[in-house]
Amino acid sequence: MKNVFDYFFYRIALFYKKRMPLEDYIHQGHAIIIIALAFYFMSFLDIVLFYLGYDLSIPIIVALYIPFGIIVFFSERFFPESEKLLDELKCKYKNERLFWLKGLAIFFFLVFSLVLYIWTLFHFKIPQ
């Protein structure tokens, strides 16, 4: 799992480094991965709460998501933000094959996390 996380971080950080004039592209790489995982977790949480019979009203969503958002916000502070980590990953993935296809898979992983979250918000509502 760590290799997958490292590869996602490497590709996202490289994307930000090449295409965006940001100084903190390493931080952006970690933040995007954490946000995507948070969307998957919240989608799963919505589905579980729906099948347990809870009404997914605004107070329940706020009561669950605000503490989770705080945890996500502070968890990204614990990742190493060094150039050394990115250089090690560059050496590790220097001669990778199918990099375009892997990048497309990462893109769909990130986009699908948001799409799934929006779909669960609108689909799993108990009619009043």
Domain residue limits, the chain: 2-118
pLDDT at 115: 92
Global pTM reads 0.75
3-state secondary structure (DSSP) of residue 20: coil
| Token pair 């296809």 in the structure block, residue | 101
Q: Are 105 and 25 in contact (CB under 8 A)?
A: no
Residue 44 confidence (pLDDT) above 90: no
Task: Report which of residues 68 and 128 the model is more confident about.
Answer: 68
Q: What is the mean pLDDT of residues 110-118?
A: 90
